Amino acid sequence: MSQLPNRDQIEQKYTWNAESVFTTPQAWEDEIKSILADLPGFKKYQDKLAEGPATVLQALKAMEGLMIRMYRAYVYAGFSYSVDTTNQAAAAMQGKAAGVYGQTLATVSFVTPELLAIGQETLEKWSSQEPGLAVYKQFFNNMFREQEHTRSAEVEEILGMLADPFDGPSTTASLLTNADFKFAPAADQDGNSLEVSEGTLWKILATSDRTARETAWTNYMDQHLAYKNTLASNLATSIKQSVFRSRVRRYNNVLEMSLYNNNIPTSVFHNLLETFKKQLPVWHKYFEIRKRILGVNPLQPYDMWAPLTSNRAKIPFDKAVDMIAEGLLPLGKDYVGTLRNGCLEERWVDVYPNKGKRTGAFSWGAPGTHPFIMMSYTDEIFSLSTLAHELGHSMHSYLTWENQPLVYSDYSLFAAEVASNFNQAMVRAHLLQTNTDKDFQISLIEEAMANFYRYFFIMPTLARFELETHTRVEQGQPLTADALINLMADLFSEGFGSKVNVDRERVGITWAYFQHLFTDYYVYAYATGIAGAHALAGRILRDEPNSVQDYLGFLKAGSSDYPLNVLKRAGVDLSTPQPVEEAFAVMAGYVDRLDQLTK
């Protein structure tokens, strides 16, 4: 049986640079104790902010100091756990970090209600008197925009304290699926046993051995089905918690609450879903072509990642970094130099799979740390694309932290997925132009379609699922495991049309392995992100005036303005369906090119 290595068998240069954050776990423990010791001291500002601009500035700076220390500690604990969920010490660190994070939020929770009580006119006057407050203009404006949804200091403190216990469903689901689940092994066409895990599943699904694909997919889904009631209860509880928060904060629904902070109208979400449904024929054409190339009937969900050519290039990690850097050269030597140094010298990336490593890939960090990446690299073009995607996030973070104060050092999920998909679009365009080998072109289009399949098919389908599940809870309807499975199966049946066979139970459990659903209305941002990304990449590839500067300005802006405004300045208007339609046109071009290459 193919075995994953233990964590301690991974070469250090391919692991994240944990010691750059804290030299030892004991140093992290000391910092946690120090944060807890400093929390009571912040209370000296409570009921004092109305004294004047100097006090407000001191309180905001003190709050930022606490939060940046907390973020740094949280990243260390969370990343340590993510790369090895079987590490009990790391699990304990993450639990402790979550608890202290909740205490920190509760401690500083009085700030917003007291600033609101001072009033917008007075704060604007104080900002002109105290230069140090001028940077907070957007922060103050947004705070007063949200005033109707901000509660008293006492209620805000309680909501802050709920951060830790309300994280329970997500943590339980993660522990269950990433650490506790043991999947039955798959079998290849020769009867050999293959280990199935979060780190190996997608590699098996990307092989030409249909027996291996079918048994791996079946066993993976069946393990989730065996715990469908627990998994459904976790998700339902998370949704109920969100509905509770939306009602406490006096929103009409969770969708409105989730989009309100970034000043995104709900019409953006609904435009995406309507455009997606109109464009389903493009997907049906692709499914038909994939079925023809593979020579299978019917096409099954586990055939979606099967190779369309037997001659796939092997791309080691270091070579992938070179190829990504070449594709992003239009952004300038500074951008590319930072990216290369992060990958090859500063150890931003935790590269390879190991036992206990979380599924998927993500970029995470905070001001004062590197923008780290966790992934499971597999020496092929799909992993190259994932690395490019996560480096888009990391470079977005790097440039934001370099150019913005802490108050604007984050950016919305809505903007984040633009930067990540932009990198993929640029690298893909470069490789299509520079490598004309037929098999490579097929592999590259196959990768592109796999990316679109995830972000422009699965994610909009999950978004439709999310809207319906939240609506049912908001209307007082129950969410049972079977109800969730049937809803998911219905949505995929509509999406697949008659082109793909739907095993209702196994397709219907798809929701159970997407941790994204514990962050309300996140998944839709993947689809709007890929749309915005291709619009901005198109500007640069066409060499439109100021396109590079506009895009770098977007990366540097952080949350200093609302994401729709930042993206409009960069050259794309996601408040309209047009970018989504343009991205579908790009995808349709890939489908036609694949059809021609394989006939």
Query: In the predicted model, what is the mean pLDDT of residues 534-563?
Result: 96
Residue 156 pLDDT exceeds 90? no
Query: In the predicted model, what is the mean pLDDT of residues 287-305?
Result: 96
The answer to whether residues 187 and 249 touch, using CB atoms and an 8 Å cutoff, is no
The enclosing domain of 128 has a CATH number of 1.20.140.70
Query: In the predicted model, what is the mean pLDDT of residues 265-289?
Result: 96
CB burial of 156-176 (b: ≥16 within 10 Å; e: otherwise) equals: bbebbbbbbebbebbbbbbeb
What is the SS3 assignment for 349? strand
- What is the predicted pLDDT for the residue at 160? 83
**Strands laid side by side in the 372-374 sheet:** 349-350, 372-374, 362-364
- pLDDT band at 73; cut points 50, 70, 90: very high
DSSP state of 179: I
Tens digit of each residue's pLDDT (9 = 90 or more) over 353-374? 999 998 789 999 999 999 999 9
Query: In the predicted model, what is the mean pLDDT of residues 447-471?
Result: 96
- Residue 243's closest CA among 233, 228, 256? 256
Tens digit of each residue's pLDDT (9 = 90 or more) over 379-412? 989 899 999 999 999 999 999 999 999 999 999 8
Beta bridge partners of 349: 373
- pLDDT band at 484; cut points 50, 70, 90: very high
Tens digit of each residue's pLDDT (9 = 90 or more) over 502-532? 999 999 999 999 988 998 998 999 999 999 9
Is 157 inside any structural domain?
yes
Q: What is the sign of the dihedral through the CA atoms of 323, 326, 331 and 332?
A: positive
The percentage of the chain sitting over the pLDDT mark of 70, rounded to a whole number, equals 99
Is 411 inside any structural domain?
no
- pLDDT band at 186; cut points 50, 70, 90: very high
- What is the predicted pLDDT for the residue at 198? 80
Residue 55 pLDDT exceeds 80? yes
Which own/partner contact pairs does 452-456 have at CB distance under 8 Å and 24+ positions apart? 452/530, 452/587, 452/590, 453/304, 454/526, 455/417, 455/421, 455/526, 455/527, 455/529, 455/530, 456/276, 456/527, 456/530, 456/583, 456/584, 456/587
- What is the predicted pLDDT for the residue at 1? 36
Output the CA–CA distances (angstroms, integers) from residue 518 to 137, 231, 237, 522, in the order listed: 32, 12, 10, 9
Tens digit of each residue's pLDDT (9 = 90 or more) over 17-28? 999 999 999 999
Is 521 inside any structural domain?
no
Tens digit of each residue's pLDDT (9 = 90 or more) over 187-209? 999 999 999 988 788 889 989 99
Is 137 inside any structural domain?
yes
Query: In the predicted model, what is the mean pLDDT of residues 145-164?
Result: 84
DSSP state of 380: S
- What is the predicted pLDDT for the residue at 299? 97
Rounded to whole angstroms, the Cα distance separating 238 from 233 reads 9
The answer to whether residues 328 and 389 touch, using CB atoms and an 8 Å cutoff, is no
The reply to whether 390 belongs to the active site is yes
- What is the predicted pLDDT for the residue at 2? 53
Helical H segments across 261-380, by residue range: 266-278, 280-294, 317-327, 333-344
Range of the domain at 104: 7-163
Is 105 inside any structural domain?
yes
The percentage of the chain sitting over the pLDDT mark of 90, rounded to a whole number, equals 86
Is 189 inside any structural domain?
no
Counting the structural domains of the chain, the total is 1
Instruction: Retrieve residue 388's tokens.
Output: 């490019």
Q: Comparing 53-62, 329-338, 433-442, which segment has the lowest mean pLDDT?
A: 433-442
Is 273 inside any structural domain?
no
Higher pLDDT, 313 or 133: 133
Candidates 214, 390, 447, 474; catalytic one:
390
- What is the predicted pLDDT for the residue at 178? 81
Number of residues that this document lists for the chain? 599
Query: In the predicted model, what is the mean pLDDT of residues 240-259?
Result: 94
Instruction: Retrieve residue 550's tokens.
Output: 């506009």
Output the CA–CA distances (angstroms, integers) from residue 299 to 250, 451, 508, in the order listed: 47, 19, 17
- Residue 203's closest CA among 193, 192, 212, 190? 212
The answer to whether residues 355 and 7 touch, using CB atoms and an 8 Å cutoff, is yes
Is 32 inside any structural domain?
yes
Phi, psi dihedrals of residue 570, rounded to the nearest 5°: -80, -15
Query: In the predicted model, what is the mean pLDDT of residues 133-153?
Result: 89
The average confidence (pLDDT) of the chain is 94
Rounded to whole angstroms, the Cα distance separating 253 from 137 reads 28
Phi, psi dihedrals of residue 181, rounded to the nearest 5°: -65, 135
Query: In the predicted model, what is the mean pLDDT of residues 80-107?
Result: 94
- What is the predicted pLDDT for the residue at 313? 86
